[in-house]
Structure 1
Amino acid sequence: MSEVQSNVLKKNVDTCDAVLKRLNSEKGDWKLLGMCMPEKNENGDDVRNMIIAKQATDSLSNKWDQISTCLSQLHSDMKSNAGAEVIREKRMRLFEALEGAEHLLKIWLDKLSEACENIKEASGTLNELKKSIEGTRKEINGILESLEKLENVPVVMPIRIKREIKQEVEEDILVVFENTPMSRAAGNAERNIEDKTHTTQLTYKDFVGQPSQIGSRQWISRFKDGEPVHMNKKTFCQIVEDGTDLFFVPQVPTLVKSTAGLGMKVPRNLGFPNLQEYLQSEERDEVTVIDSFKQKSLSKPMKISEVLNRFNTPSHERDLCINVLSNEESGSGTKFDREFRPPRLVKESLEKQLERVLIRKKDRIEEELEDGLITEERKEELIEQKKRIEQQMNAFPKYLKFVIVSMGGSFTNVHVDFSATSVFYHVFRGTKIFYLAQPTEENMAIYKQYETSGNAKKKWIVESLENEWERLVIEAGMTAIIPSGYIHAVYTPEDSIVVGGNFLMENQIARQFELSRLEEKMLDKGMLDYGSLYKEFNNVMFSYTENILFEKLASFHEIPVEDVEELKEQTSAMMNNLSKSDLATWYSEEDQERIIQKLKDLIPVDWFPVEEIPEVEAPAPIPLAAEEAENGDGEPEAVPEPDVTRARLHRACKRAGENF
């Protein structure tokens, strides 16, 4: 263990000691406060608020015991230098206990505020305990954050270790699948048991229908009848009971039946009656709405209150089929933003790794600036570095808290999520049905031709991929994890509330570039709007190269030989795709050229033949769709209007302050 790690742990142990002493001293106060609360007023009538407050106080006292126990165990584990897995388990228990205490305290304060006149003698204790619980939360969060820093994989950590952990987890998952009734095949049979009895008179051609009708009432009626049969001819997804073993994005789409073990914090009892409370803020009370019947966005945003009121209308009387896809809550300050935390595996995303590195670099700069012995020239250099890091952090992508609100009958057309981002998708209310096709070379060629073709409305891509789809039903309480690049469409059979998040992965750089370049071409042709892009993609790739990949390459000689291949793959993907871009606004053109050149200079001479190192000036052109290539002058056919279901997400990003 390094000296830095040892010092951090010692500080955490000291904090644990202080918190434990305070908790133990307060147990009696909580119980005493409960005894002070009368359950009847002067007339002998029951005081409902007081009864509830008393019950909450008793429960809170018990919860305090749990927190104290968890802290004691964490304290012992840190002193004995327990392994990361043990620490992680204790942290999870501590989180759960804290969340329970926070929930009870809210109930207690709400009810007690209306009856506090009856217990003036307890007001002093009450105020002290309110301050104490807030202080305890801050101290415990500090412990958890510092423990997370210790868990973070250093930039130059041997890749072999990461790969061994990943392989071990995946092997454990396979063992679970092979030795439980919920194996991959069994799971597929269970969730699609209706297919055994469901029949349809529709031929495949009739089921597909005319692309111009997609989303309409008539089309949806026909689609509902045929989709269980015609959209479920492959088996590649997997189902797991919970997220205990999911530390990384799995290699195939995975349905997680319970939130247990995912490390995801979700608001309690979120539903349509209280959704406005979770989404409303002083700065914003409107959202962009798609009418799924017409597959088009409404000309004007709609107030959140109006959106939710329309859900009270019986389905057969609705004139719109509302589908809200672009409502991103990160850093918004709303109740949802505060109370939702994405799954643990998101911490391994490329963005989260980069964010942690930028924070560490900023901390080191601030420490050096406090040194009174540095020269004025060095001070100016550090201030400029800090300014650049802060600019990047303020404009950092925020795509992890999309609250998706859909009416029954909504349909989102076939697409790949922007920049081939990986996705988590948790259903709070209702049901969602995904139709997924694997990102094979053949399937992706069909998809790219479809996206860039002027004939997209003449033939639906589902027809071209007739035998490639698997149907995945996500019910309330379930979470889906979808890896990079999967082609999919989504049908909503009943009114639904969902939270989804998009993120990049370090091992998918090539595919993410491939889709980003496709989207940029579509943007140039007017087939996609700017709001549907991962707008910071080029910025993030340059920053990742400068702040993470360079450090790996500079110290690659410290990496075991067996790990070099993985680093070579990452380097090759970046080397072949990173290019100057007007969209890389974090960097000047000169800075972009400098980073590209330094990447070439850092590549070990024996890794790639010289002729394989490209002189990258611009991204390679994406081949035209077949019908465009046939035009002698290279002019495409009439460009269709942007399809809001393919270019589906007008992404609200660039909000700072995400609490994750």
Structure 2
Amino acid sequence: MTRATRRTTRTSAPSQPGSNAPASGAPDPAADVINSQEDLCPACSVSLMRDVKDEDSESWVRCDSCKTWYHWRCVGENGQLDVIDKWFCGQCRAADSRRAITFKLPTRKSARNRPVRDYVNLHSGTDSSDPRRWAQLLENKTFSKDAFKKMTGSELTQDWLDSDPTAMMEPVIIEEPDGLGMTMPSSNLTVSEIAATLGHDTPLEVIDVSTQSSLAGWTLGKWASYYSSELSAREKVRNVISLEISGTKLGEQVVPPKLVRDIDWVEKFWPNNRKGSSHPYPKVQLYCLMGVAGAWTDWHIDFAGSSVYYHILRGSKTFLFIRPTAANLASYERWSGSEIQSHTWLGDLVDEVTKVDLREGNTMIIPTGWIHAVYTPQDALVFGGNFLHSYNAALQLKVREIEISTHVPKKFRFPLFSRLCWYVGEKYLRDLRSKEDFTPRVLESIEALSEFLVSEVRTMERSPETVKRDIRDQVPSDKVKDAPALARELRWRVRLVGGYTSDGDHLDRAQGQEEPTPKDVGRKRKRDSEFLPSDLAIPSDSMFRNFRPKIWETVEEEHEESMRHLVVHDIGPLVENLSGWKDEPLDASGVEGRPVEAGRKRQVILKTRKTDRGFERQRTERVLERWSWDNAEADVSYTSKGISPTADSQA
């Protein structure tokens, strides 16, 4: 499965075939267009592009201010990238003189040559050329027992997602495919048949297991010959984890589980008329994975925190899982792509590693953000795919931030991620306008998505023109006509459904006041009330840019406040256990009571407005009670067994 790991250079292997690549391996023109666009940076020039001999060995650098990626050859002025600590593009340096490029402190090094340490050898003492060293490593480690759910295919339903708070939060194993609504090729399918179907000359990305790096010059025909050879004849252990087969004859034989199709963002929200040869879209749903005995895929999180369905057509796999807690994700972020990665076992940096063994016919659902590594005990053929969904979007976005902070090149990230998020946000906004009902988990995901879209809008509004252009290009103009208005209205509506009573942006401003853009400095801003009748005017700080919520035509407010001195009995349990406030904590036992000062405030707000079909009325009541133990003389002995909102009337 495609993973997101930090890399300082691009892979030198050819890309796999696109969804509409012919069996002969001919290139897909649309894929070439989108790939060429993704390979450009804002500083690219025609002359520089002509001088590039190997685009796949490209080094990239990101501006620490505007977050835009550049080719180092375009902006580095022949300097060394590995000595850069903080780097800012020319536009950001011009905008703020305090921004300066800084360099790492020189590392103290001995004059002696030191061997590169390998954590496999470090822990097991085995030779790095030994194909069994990964198995020996697993034998020398301690893992937690697999306690993940075992379910039948018929149990993986939408009702399960909506009713079980742990659904899609932990890996799930389905031992038999019956009931999944999934279609797979025959278990007799061979790698040679796959090569014949897709084309023997089709380029293929192959991983050298010993170095975990991509190899150049491989085709499906060459791979089929290697895979079918005897174990003793294999010079090295290779692995294939990213052969995407959408739009091919082989892909027509694979249908993901029904639940996956029902919640997959690409399936649900990407317009059907925007999929095809002339409209690139995220093709990550159908992968063919081919691993030989001894293959190992190091620790990783699938790109953008996407979930995975994984079916063992033949052979077996061993998974190691690390739960995506905040501490474990922080450890993974420090480990990924750093110097310690080559000699440190990630499992030693986290609290727990769980081992799961899968056999032929098993299917597994790996949820958002789970860190995992995979070992292949015997030759295996697997089909699976990645999907984003609305049951943990906050973690999906968190993983994307980790990818950015660890400098994962765009080539290894979820394709067209931002554009997909805009499609999702546009559809959810229409649903919220139509009063559609959502479960709390989905509402939390919509709110996280809205925050991401608002952050994209803020970057678009404040950044240099090149950055604005990059973000605008990701906004689908066929669905989104006004991106700032959509993002802010979506956030407002989902907060309203979630229980926020304010019509304005107060919550967001309380967490972090938006800074004015440079063009706003020194300019007097008009109040929104200037454009409204005086009786309907509302404060300007309650409005979103490019969006105005409906106005309440009348607002009436009532206040009531009272204070009483009471005597209550048996207050000890109430003081010791605050949860007693919920269930009549006071007991009229006849024992001498203790004086209490009880204050009560009541506020009622009644709003009304006309609608196309009649009118709407909103009534909000807030009651605040304060009970203070004091030595005041009581007005009356209060002996009720419960604290009632109408306690004042009993005094």
TM-score calculated relative to the size of structure 1? 0.51
> Using a 3 Å threshold, how does the CA distance of structure 1 residues 588 and 239 change in structure 2: closer, same or farther?
closer
The separation in 2 between residues aligned to 1:514 and 1:404, in whole angstroms, is 27
2:309 to 417, 424, 434: 424
Candidates 513, 516, 520, aligned match of 2:397: 513
Other-structure match for 1:545: 425
- Give the 3-state SS of the residue equivalent to 1:492 in structure 2: strand
Against the structure 1 CA distance between its residues 223 and 584, is the aligned structure 2 distance closer, same or farther, given a 3 Å change threshold?
Answer: farther
> Which protein shows a greater Rg?
2
Contact 1:262 1:344 in 2 (8 A): yes
Find out whether 1:303 has 2:219 as its counterpart.
yes
1:357-376 alignment to 2 at 5 Å? 358-359=271-272
Match for residue 347 of structure 1 among 261, 265, 269:
261
Could you list the per-position Cα deviations for residues 250-283 of structure 1 after superposition, in whole angstroms to 9, with x for gaps in the alignment? Answer: 432122111111111111244336533564249x
The answer as to whether partners of 2:199 and 2:220 remain within 8 angstroms in 1 is: no
Task: Find 1:288's aligned residue among 197, 205, 215.
Answer: 205
How far apart are residue 338 of structure 1 and its match? 1.4
Q: Distance in 1 between matches of 2:293 and 2:314?
A: 11
What code does the residue aligned with 2:263 have?
A: S
The alpha carbon displacement at 1:468 in A equals 1.0
- Partners of 2:149 and 2:452 in 1: how far apart? 32
Partner-residue secondary structure (3-state), 1:598 = helix
* CA contact 2:291–2:376 (8 Å) conserved in 1: yes
1:264 aligns with 2:182: yes
The secondary structure found in structure 1 opposite 2:341 is coil
Give the aligned residue type for 1:551: R
The residue aligned with 1:569 is 444
Tell me which residue corresponds to 1:530: 410
Note if contact 1:215-1:411 (Cα within 8 Å) is conserved in structure 2.
no
Q: Which residue of 1 aligns with 2:371?
A: 487
With over 3 angstroms needed to count, the CA separation of the structure-2 counterparts of 1:570 and 1:207, relative to structure 1, is: closer
Q: Cα distance 1:616–1:584, how it changes in 2: closer, same or farther (>3 A)?
A: farther
Q: Say which of 147, 153, 173 aligns to 1:255.
A: 173
Specify which structure has the higher proportion of strand: 2
SS in 1 for 2:431: helix
Q: Does 1:232 align with 2:158?
A: no
- Residue 405 in 1 paired to residue 290 in 2? yes
SS at the partner of 2:365?
A: strand
Structure 2 counterpart of 1:555, from 424, 434, 449: 434
CA contact under 8 A between 2:124 and 2:136: conserved in structure 1? no
Contact kept, 8 Å, 2:118 with 2:343, in 1: the verdict is no
Describe the superposition over 1:274-310 as per-residue Cα deviations: whole angstroms up to 9, x where unpaired. Answer: 533564249x62211111122211122x121211111
CA 1:215–1:442 in 2, change beyond 3 Å: closer, same or farther? farther
- By how many angstroms is 1:610 displaced? 4.6
CA offset at residue 599 of structure 1? 2.9
Q: Report deviation, 1:400.
A: 1.4
Aligned partner letter, 1:606 = T
Q: Which runs of 5+ in 2 are unaligned?
A: 1-116, 162-166, 460-469, 516-651
Q: Which amino acid aligns with 2:507?
A: P
Indicate which of 314, 319, 324 corresponds to 2:230.
314
Instruction: Give the structure 2 partner of residue 439 of structure 1.
Output: 324
1:62-77 matched pairs, under 5 angstroms: none
Q: Deviation string for 1:109-143 (max 9, x for gaps)?
A: xxxxxxxxxxxxxxxxxxxxxxxxxxxxxxxxxxx
Contact between 2:317 and 2:375, CA under 8 Å: does it hold in 1?
yes
Kindly provide the amino acid, as one letter, of the partner of residue 416 in structure 1.
I
Q: Measure how far apart 1:595 and its partner are.
A: 3.2
Give yes or no for the alignment of 1:587 onto 2:488. no
1:243 aligns with 2:157: no
1:339 Cα offset (Å): 1.2
Q: Does residue 529 of structure 2 align to residue 609 of structure 1?
A: no
* Matched residue type, 1:576: E
Query: Residue 429 of structure 1 contacts residue 476 of structure 1 at CA under 8 Å; is this kept in 2?
Result: yes
* Cα distance in 1 between the residues matched to 2:281 and 2:512: 29
Task: Compare the two structures and name the one with the higher helix fraction.
Answer: 1
In the alignment, structure 1 residue 327 sits paired with structure 2 residue 225:
no
Partner of 1:415: 300
In the alignment, the residues of structure 1 paired with residue 168 and residue 441 of structure 2 have an alpha-carbon distance, to the nearest angstrom, of 17
Looking at structure 1, the residues matched to 231 and 282 of structure 2 have their Cα atoms a distance apart, in angstroms, of 36
When residues 529 and 567 of structure 1 are mapped into structure 2, their CA distance, relative to the original with a 3 A threshold, is closer
Say which SS state the counterpart of residue 315 (structure 2) adopts: strand
Are the structure 2 counterparts of residues 279 and 323 from structure 1 closer, same or farther at C-alpha, using a change threshold of 3 Å?
farther
SS class of match (1:227): helix
The count of aligned residue pairs is: 369
Q: TM-score, normalised by structure 2?
A: 0.51
Per the alignment, do residues 315 and 600 of structure 1 end up closer, same or farther by CA in structure 2, a change over 3 Å counting? same
1:489-520 C-alpha deviation (Å, 9 max, x unpaired)? 00011111111110001011111111112212
In the TM superposition, what is the alpha-carbon distance from 1:478 to its structure 2 partner? 1.1
Aligned-residue offset at 1:419: 0.6
2:490 aligns with one of 599, 603, 606: 599
Q: Which amino acid aligns with 2:397?
A: F
Counterpart Cα distance in 1 of 2:138 and 2:431: 48
Matched letter for residue 329 of structure 1 = I
Distance 1:565 1:425, change over 3 A: closer
Sequence identity of aligned pairs in percent? 24
Equivalent position amino acid for 2:174 in 1 = V
RMSD: 3.5
Q: 2 CA distance for matches of 1:213 and 1:272?
A: 36
AA aligned opposite 2:448:
A
Distance apart, 1:213 and its partner CA: 10
